[in-house]
Amino acid sequence: MRYTFKIGEELVKVAPRSMADELILAIGEQNCRVVFDHGREGRCTLTLDGRSYESWVARDGDDIYIKMASHYFKVTAVDPRAAASGASAGAGAISAPMPGVVVEVLVAEGDTVVEGDKLLTIESMKLQSTVRAACDGVVGRIHVSEGSEFNKDDVLVEIESE
């Protein structure tokens, strides 16, 4: 099975190759041996192909934030079933991944968007994240405005396929 992760603005395909004694992942075109030892308060050791990195990991919904070797990464698992169900339904309803508040609305009704475009900035548990278009189309209805509070699974934006 192949998974898609968004690292920064780049989509990366990852496929497990072996999980018997160790995890071997095909990341893009490269096979990597991965060992992930968890410690306290998000601290962990991440070993890639025998090279160890002291790291810190925090999770916010589907987003994983990693600090490794003085670099910060945001990794988001892309669920192909969610994107496919939104596209096949004609209107892609973008639902809230967690309760929170809208910080900024980045699109207007009638705007044309492509999959991955930024739609909203939201805040939950003092962490801000970006809500992105799950499919290509036209912004049909925006159900929230700046400062609006919402609950998990509330529809925030609807995208109509062209």
If you average pLDDT over residues 47-68, what whole number do you get? 76
The residue from 50, 78, 106 where one domain ends is 78
Residues 140, 145, 149, 154: what is their CA dihedral angle, to the nearest 10 degrees?
A: 0
18-40 pLDDT, tens digit each? 655 566 767 767 777 766 666 66
pLDDT of amino acid 81: 44
Q: Are residues 33 and 93 in the same domain?
A: no
Q: Are residues 156 and 88 in the same domain?
A: yes
Does residue 78 surpass a pLDDT of 70?
no
CB 42 within 8 A of CB 57: yes
Contacts for 136 with CB less than 8 Å, ≥ 6 apart = 113, 114, 115, 161, 162
Instruction: Return the structure tokens found at 56.
Output: 């810190």
Question: Please, what is the average pLDDT of the chain?
Answer: 77
Q: Are residues 126 and 54 in the same domain?
A: no
Split into its structural domains, the chain has a count of: 2
Q: Are residues 29 and 95 in the same domain?
A: no
pLDDT of amino acid 103: 94
| Cα–Cα dist 40/42, whole Å | 6
Structural domain including 11 reads 3-78
Distances (CA, A) of 84 to 80, 102, 139: 6, 25, 17
Q: Are residues 9 and 69 in the same domain?
A: yes
Q: Are residues 58 and 98 in the same domain?
A: no
123-154 pLDDT, tens digit each? 887 788 888 888 889 999 999 999 999 888 88
3-state secondary structure string across 58-78? EEECCEEEEEECCEEEEEEEE
93-121 pLDDT, tens digit each? 888 888 889 999 999 999 999 988 999 99
Q: How much is the pTM? A: 0.46
Q: Are residues 63 and 132 in the same domain?
A: no
